[in-house]
């Protein structure tokens, strides 16, 4: 009981000034959140990778991103501290980011070539290797919650499109009108690309798709969200949610809902969530590859992540990054893009929010 009271006060003391600061919109990069009483917890989130250079965001915009990342980080981490599972923490944090128009997931999803929003997500349980994934959703407000339902309430790993939405209805998971996902900045991004595409009059379909994806890459694609967690029981979990890439076509599905590409968790190694140019992450099986390098070559997590992202992905011509936590609570972040929205609780128990290289 004494221990409980002490823990309660530590938590209250650690959180009160932090949350007040965040609510005021003021923040510092480092905040004390975790005492030595639970050194094994691990929590990292990301809000996408891409060309995010210092000066490319206005101070106000930057603050909005930081405040929202902090909110998601604290919510997920608090869940872990209270004894909830890594899966709960991952879902809680991702839902907050999905509900924000700042990120390319849920509310802020990018537009397809046809001017629609098609959402993908996945989640994985490192203890059981159970996984759930959804793709091509048009009406599910929080795709991560549907991915979890696929994992926990169905016999399948992946469901797509109308079928997945039928399952969502059955599971009483919130559906919204397609209009809910419409946002001006994402619409403008699509219009800009379509205009450029028209001007270029690219000939063959193949080169057209290729040029669009290439062009899209630096400026218009970032904001996928993800989270990885190590909970009090030593169980790992990972989840990722995205609107994909602006101007994507023909039922294109990226890496985010592909188990082993954009998301992977295994209690023997680590939990990973990726963001970047999905086609490359699928080809390399990035998330599973990092886990395999740890398992078969005994590489520590940061080295394994850098090997796959800064060596293999780089050589293949892809870009993006990952967040990871291993079974000991060590955290790794690796990306070969200009920036990556990310936030984590470091080894000293402090909250860190970072955007640039």
By CB under 6 A, is residue 275 in contact with ligand ASP? yes
# binding residues, ligand ASP (CB under 6 A): 14
Interface mask (CB under 6 A) for ligand ASP, residues 302-331, using x and -? ------------------x-----------
Q: Which of 242, 267, 273, 291 binds ligand ASP (CB under 6 A)?
A: 242
CB of 262 to ligand ASP, least distance (A): 6
Whole-angstrom Cα distance, residue 223 to residue 3? 41
Q: Which of 276, 285, 339, 349 binds ligand ASP (CB under 6 A)?
A: 276
DSSP 270-338: EEEEEEE-HHHHHHHTHHHHHHHHHHHH---HHHHHHIIIIIIIHHHT--EEEEEEETTS-EEEEE-SS
> 101: how many CB neighbours lie within 10 A of its CB?
17
By CB under 6 A, is residue 146 in contact with ligand ASP? no
**Cβ closest to ligand ASP, residue 41 vs residue 313:** 313
Q: What tokens does 303 get?
A: 């080295």
Q: Which of 43, 65, 222, 344 binds ligand ASP (CB under 6 A)?
A: 222
Which residue reads 């599910």 in tokens?
140
By CB under 6 A, is residue 47 in contact with ligand ASP? no
Cβ neighbors of 249 (< 8 A, separation 6 or more) are 112, 113, 114, 209
Residue 275 designated active-site = no
By CB under 6 A, is residue 86 in contact with ligand ASP? no
Cβ neighbors of 31 (< 8 A, separation 6 or more) are 18, 21, 350, 351
> 43: how many CB neighbours lie within 10 A of its CB?
31
Which residue reads 């007040």 in tokens?
20
Exactly one of 224, 246, 263, 275 is catalytic; name it: 224
**Cβ closest to ligand ASP, residue 139 vs residue 337:** 337
Residues annotated as catalytic (active site), given as ranges: 224
Binding site for ligand ASP (CB under 6 A): 48, 221-222, 224, 242, 244-245, 254-256, 275-276, 278, 320
């Amino acid at each position: 009981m004494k221990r409980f009271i002490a823990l309660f006060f530590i938590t209250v003391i650690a959180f009160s000034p932090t949350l007040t600061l965040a609510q005021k919109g003021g923040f510092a990069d480092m905040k004390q959140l975790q005492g030595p009483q639970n050194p094994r917890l691990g929590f990292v989130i990301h809000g996408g990778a891409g060309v995010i250079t210092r000066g490319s965001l206005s101070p106000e915009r930057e603050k909005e991103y930081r405040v929202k990342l902090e909110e998601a980080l604290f919510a997920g981490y608090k869940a872990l501290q209270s004894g909830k599972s890594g899966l709960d923490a991952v879902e809680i944090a991702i839902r907050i980011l999905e509900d924000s128009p700042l990120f390319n997931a849920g509310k802020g999803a990018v537009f397809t070539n046809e001017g629609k929003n098609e959402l993908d997500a996945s989640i994985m349980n490192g203890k059981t290797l159970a996984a759930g994934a959804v793709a091509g959703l048009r009406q599910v407000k929080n795709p991560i919650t549907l991915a979890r339902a696929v994992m926990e309430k169905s016999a399948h790993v992946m469901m797509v499109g109308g079928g997945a939405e039928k399952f969502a209805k059955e599971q009483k998971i919130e559906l919204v009108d397609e209009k809910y996902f419409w946002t001006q900045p994402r619409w403008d991004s699509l219009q800009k690309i379509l205009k450029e595409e028209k001007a270029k009059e690219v000939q063959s379909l193949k080169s057209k798709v290729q040029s669009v994806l290439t062009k899209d890459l630096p400026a218009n694609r970032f904001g996928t969200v993800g989270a990885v967690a190590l909970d009090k029981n030593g169980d790992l979990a990972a989840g990722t949610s995205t609107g994909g890439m602006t101007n994507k076509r023909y039922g294109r599905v990226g890496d985010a809902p592909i188990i082993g590409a954009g998301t992977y968790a295994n209690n023997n190694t680590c939990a990973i969530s990726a963001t970047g140019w999905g086609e490359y992450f699928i080809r390399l099986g990035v998330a599973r590859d990092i886990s395999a390098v740890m398992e078969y070559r005994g590489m520590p997590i940061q080295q394994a992540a850098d090997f796959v992202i800064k060596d293999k992905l780089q050589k293949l011509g892809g870009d993006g990054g990952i967040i990871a936590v291993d079974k000991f609570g060590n955290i790794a972040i690796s990306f070969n893009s200009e920036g990556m929205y990310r936030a984590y609780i470091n080894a000293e128990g402090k909250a860190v929010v970072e955007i640039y290289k």
